[in-house]
Amino acid sequence: MSKPLIEVKNLRIETAEDSRTLVNNISFEVFPGEAVGVVGESGSGKTLTALSILGLLPRGVIARSGEINYSDSNLLASSEEHRRSIRGNQISMIYQDPMTALNPVMKLGKQLSEVLEAHDVLKDEAPERVFNAFKEVGIPEPDRALVSYPHEFSGGMRQRVMIAMALIMSPKLLIADEPTTALDVTIQQQILALVSEQRRKSGMSMLWITHDLGVVANLVDRVIVMYAGQIVEVGTVKDIFTNPQHPYTHGLLASLPKSDVKSRERLMAIPGVPPKPWMVENSCAFSPRCGRATVECFTQTPPLKTNEFTSAACFHEIGKNQ
Amino acid sequence: MRLARTSGIAARLLSVLVTLFGISVFIFIVLRVIPGDTITGSLGIETGVLTPEQIDDLKRYYGIDKPLILQYFSWITSFLSGDLGFAYSTGVSVLTLTASALPVTIELALFGTISGVIMGIAIGMFSAKKPGSTRDFLGQLFGLLALAIPGFVLSTAIVTIMANKFGYFPNGYEYMTPWEDIWMNLQQMLFPSIVLGIAVAAPVMRTTRSALLETVDKDFIRTAFGKGLNSRIVQFRHVLRNSMIPIVTMTGIQFGYLLGGAVIVEKIFALPGMGRQILDAINKREYATVQSSVMIFAILFVTINLVTDLIYRRIDPRIK
Amino acid sequence: MKTQSSDKNWIHYYFKSTSGVVGAVLVLIMIIISICAAFGWTTHDPLTQNPMDALQPPSSTYWFGTDQFGRDVFSRAMDGMRRSMIVSIVAVGIAGFVGVLLGVLGGYLGKWLDGFVVRLSDVIFAFPAILLALAIVNSLGNSWIDTSLAIAIVYTPIFIRVARGPVLTIKELDYVKSVRVLGFSSPRILISHVLPNVLAPILVQIALSMSWAILTESGLSFLGLGTQPPDASLGLMVSEAQPMAAFAWWTLVAPSVFITLVVVGLNLVGDGLRDSLDPARRQS
């Protein structure tokens, strides 16, 4: 068993002022070279988890306790300078909305060369590296892109720029926070292909955040399912899709539109809405919406139990899929 | 695209001209129509040192003995052809007076604006770093006091302390233009610039602070941190740079206002600028001087606003 | 439709902010002082000269000392505050009434009326306040009515702008459009839908404009273009204090403090109103 690239232990994220729980004591690992998908609805805490790795939590939200171990140090406890040196360099992140994630009044070339500058790359190397970075991600006319502004490009192109920016220092881990959600389906596919290709070439690990279970099917090796601030299931992509053990995951899969044209089954939505994480800290978060819930589900948080298929936080795992 | 851009500027220019026309009518009504007969009368009595030609010029300037509309046109044509009227008591043309007074006011306004903007941005950045903290409170307190303590109070206080207590009062001496004696000139500009600077700093600080706070929450700032940029670079290159537009706009407005709003400061510190020119003219009932000077102020202000607008269109690459 | 000011909670919310309360208290004190001065309830008579007591520092008899004529500085400041209050209330009252009327009518009826109203605002906005007030007072005269009128003209455009904005937005709301098409009379729409939304920003603007009006009025009287001696006015008192301030600091400090406090108070009230009336600014 190789050593994990990054290890999150008992991470707890709360609002700074009134200590409301947003992410409730989660733990997971990402190994070198592997791609992990984090799937969950909005409010599940998946984005906050991703942001906390790089110390980018928004104002009013803090990581109250836990460890994020990377390269023999706990990122939550190290200095800001240490975290800064890792950002964009060893661990990079790309974001959901390419419209707003790029500085609107700064030339794209400069936005990339800044990354090099921040990590002590020699100035004369910069123009060439930026040019190559643009080429790598498939931006046509890279020399024009160098002096262009974000608003001159389409959403898909902007996302490519962001990817170029994230990969220019050849990071070991790429965190992607729903980067294709705001794009057209065809562009989505292009971006997914681009990222997969880059991964293949460099062997970097990836943490891909999404609300769409379907997206991760051909993209990642393992899947983490989050719900209301907790991890409810972890498993390989194959196992999650064929034998999900947690009722929520099962429900998610059932609600995916099937590509089988002949299928006449109606799309199943799970009735109800996800609760706020701080309201379900001491029970199974999914119990109100679960068809299999019993008394203990409402009074205790189920621990992650590993069986032959996946690890699921449930007192009543589903077992083999019929 | 080119065509649309030029017609955008052309439309703007047209709008400015219409406003200027409106301004001239307004000034005409306020400064000529209302005092009406007083002016007509004074042309007979008070014209002391004026030559007959100058009196005729003034009559044309005022449109004496003409119906109202023609009076207006008479004035406007005189004004636009450079005839700004004459001062009764000295016989000097208002144009000459303005030529020497305007540079003084412009210099003062420049110093005042620059010092105010620097102070305002600095305090605004200081405040915005930690909103709701003590430093923010102090910064906003400064903004409030800078606004609430009238310029004439501050000026009087400075005069009292500096002149009477410390015996240092460069403004007590005859005014020196920068070409005559640059050192004296700068000293004479010092206190009035500080007073005006404080007045300018208040709105600039407020604008800076709110623009910074709004920008800091934007996604691209998170991206900037996420790239590994240090705090200083993010603050200046990303946050401040993107907040510049409202700050630049506010700076332009403040500069325009200082040109005409420094009247009291000019008087207290004995600077022979346009403000003092107008005040003296009011006291001496030199109606032509007042009318022309006010018109000049308005033209300057409108022009500066136009220039500010054009500048900000250039610095924001998003505007095409 | 729940409008900003129809939410009665705003008063309750206003008093939660310390600065808002401080501002309200300051303004209230100044109003009370003005009313006392109006009834002649000052510590001494503002006009009576006591040459024997000239230039006394503050004491229990003369709370803020005496000026060069032996007049009680505190009483004069009270009287000056009264004058400033009256001028600013009248000026802002006129400016507010005319400005809101023009703004609402222009915004609602549109076309040439709106164009004219906007143009008029631009013209008046082109002048710095003190300069315009100077020019108008020069033409009209020195009485408090003339001063009020001058200041009213200077500050009318801001009310036009503040009133016009919400009207333009509301006019475009789908449900207002449909109600118009259904034939509801314009005045009725204006009163029941437009005005409530315009009320909040106007209240805020009244407080802010009053603070500017007081600054302008005292500036004018500092220049000798307002209240004439021997009457007391805050700006005039500052200008008269200049020769003596080095050894009789109270002559300068008293009027300055009065002006500063009332302007600070009005600004805090304006900010407090803005925060409590705008649902978007409230924290959950």
Q: Do chains A and B touch (3 or more CB pairs under 8 A)?
A: yes
Q: A159-172 pLDDT, tens per residue?
A: 999 999 999 999 99
* Averaged pLDDT of chain C: 84
CA distances from C155 to B68, C117, C139, C284 (A): 27, 14, 18, 35
* All chains having 3 or more CB pairs closer than 8 angstroms to chain C: B
Q: Do chains A and C touch (3 or more CB pairs under 8 A)?
A: no
Q: C231-258 pLDDT, tens per residue?
A: 889 999 999 988 888 888 888 999 999 9
State yes or no: ipTM above 0.90: no
Q: Do B160 and C264 make contact, defined as CB atoms within 8 angstroms?
A: no
Q: Do B228 and A118 make contact, defined as CB atoms within 8 angstroms?
A: yes
B228 — contact with chain A (CB < 8 Å)? yes
| pLDDT (average), residues C20-44 | 88
d(CA C230, CA B175): 33
Max mean pLDDT range (A57-71, B65-79, C55-69): A57-71
Which of B289, B127, B268 minimizes the C-alpha distance to B196? B268
d(CA B17, CA B1): 25
- Position B50 confidence tier, pLDDT thresholds 50, 70, 90: confident
Q: A276-287 pLDDT, tens per residue?
A: 888 888 888 888
- Chain A residues with beta carbon closer than 8 angstroms to that of B226: 54, 56, 87-88, 92-93, 95
Q: Do C128 and B290 make contact, defined as CB atoms within 8 angstroms?
A: no
- Chain C residues with beta carbon closer than 8 angstroms to that of B35: 138-139
Q: Do A118 and B217 make contact, defined as CB atoms within 8 angstroms?
A: no
A115 — contact with chain B (CB < 8 Å)? yes
pLDDT at B294 > cutoff 70: yes
- Position A258 confidence tier, pLDDT thresholds 50, 70, 90: low
Q: Give me the residue spans of the domains in chain A.
A: 243-312
Q: B241-284 pLDDT, tens per residue?
A: 888 888 888 898 899 888 888 899 999 998 999 888 888 888 88
Q: Do A114 and B230 make contact, defined as CB atoms within 8 angstroms?
A: no
Q: Are A267 and A257 in contact (CB under 8 A)?
A: yes
pLDDT at A296 > cutoff 80: yes
Say which of C225, C242, C267 has its CB closest to residue B148: C267
> DSSP secondary-structure letter at A158?
H
Percent of chain B with pLDDT over 90: 27
Q: How far is C14 from chain B (nearest CA, A)?
A: 18
pLDDT at A124 > cutoff 80: yes
A88 — contact with chain B (CB < 8 Å)? yes
Interface of chain B against chain C, CB under 8 Å?
Answer: 18-19, 22-23, 26-27, 30-31, 34-35, 144-145, 147-153, 156-157, 159-161, 164-165, 256-257, 259-261, 263-264, 267, 275, 278-279, 282, 290, 294, 297-298, 301-302
Q: Do C131 and B302 make contact, defined as CB atoms within 8 angstroms?
A: no
Q: Give me the residue spans of the domains in chain C.
A: 23-35+64-279
Q: What is the 3-state secondary structure (H, E, C) of chain C?
A: CCCCCCCCHHHHHHCCCHHHHHHHHHHHHHHHHHHHHHCCCCCCCCCCCCHHHCCCCCCCCCCCCECCCCCEHHHHHHHHHHHHHHHHHHHHHHHHHHHHHHHHHHHHHCHHHHHHHHHHHHHHHCCCHHHHHHHHHHHHCCCHHHHHHHHHHHHHHHHHHHHHHHHHHHHCCHHHHHHHHCCCCHHHHHHHHHHHHHHHHHHHHHHHHHHHHHHHHHHHHHCCCCCCCCCCCHHHHHHHHCCCCCCCHHHHHHHHHHHHHHHHHHHHHHHHHHHHHCHHHCCC
Q: How far is B212 from chain A (nearest CA, A)?
A: 14
Q: How far is B228 from chain C (nearest CA, A)?
A: 32
Mutual angle of helices C18-38 and C249-277, in 10-degree steps: 130
**Which helix (H) or strand (E) element contains residue A167?**
helix A155-167
Q: Do B228 and A115 make contact, defined as CB atoms within 8 angstroms?
A: yes
- Chain B residues with beta carbon closer than 8 angstroms to that of A59: 217
Kindly indicate whether the domain formed by C23-35+64-279 is annotated with CATH number 1.10.3720.10. Answer: yes
Supply the pTM of this predicted model. Answer: 0.81
